[in-house]
Amino acid sequence: MKRFAVPILLILALYFDSILFHRLNIAGVRPDVVLAVVISFSVLAGSFKGGIAGLIVGLFSDIFFGEFVGFNALIYMLSGMAAGLFEGKFYSDNIVVAPLIAACASFLKDNIYALTLAMMGGNFHYASMLLTYILPCALLTGLVCMIIHIILRPIMNRQVRQRVDYRIGG
């Protein structure tokens, strides 16, 4: 059952992100729960596993809820790979690193969306969008990532301990 904890958490994140928070938001601002889960998992599991998780959940997100297939997959994969670079550099008990990375990744992701929208001819005021949407979303994503990291950390630590015990023969 513990082996399925991360896939179940990613499916729940897709649900929260696309259905629940789409309807429940604060002045149009909602956290990116999928990004928070991918970042937290990547910090705990590493760059490769984080990139794969980001790619898979991003493809599902694009296929079921997106307009362009591959856009979210690319962003989540790169975010997972970048966050995975912090694995082993900090203690996994540190609940500040993953939320900071998630907030920065959310900020970059929303700026990439804004740049894409501008290149496609969208008309918007960037400063207003930055203050009313991009920064609050980044802060909410960081907060959600902190909660997810607190939940995911013991699950991942147990899985690592079990693998080590199995290889040692204990």
Cβ 33 vs Cβ 144: under 8 Å: yes
CATH of domain 2-168: 1.10.1760.20
**Rounded average pLDDT over 125-147:** 94
Q: Where do runs of H (alpha helix) occur along the chain? A: 5-15, 21-23, 33-45, 47-65, 71-84, 97-119, 126-129, 135-168
The domain segmentation of the chain, as residue ranges, is 2-168
pLDDT interval class at 167 (50, 70, 90): low
Choose among 51, 52, 17, 56: nearest CA to 36.
17
- How many alpha carbons fall within 13 Å on the CB side of residue 128? 3
Q: Is the overall model pTM greater than 0.85, yes or no? A: yes
Average pLDDT over the chain, rounded to whole? 86
CA distance 108 to 149: 20
State the helix-helix crossing angle for 47-65 and 5-15, rounded to 10 degrees. 40
User: CA–CA distance from 102 to each of 79, 105, 125 (Å)?
Assistant: 8, 5, 25
Q: Is the pLDDT of residue 99 over 60?
A: yes
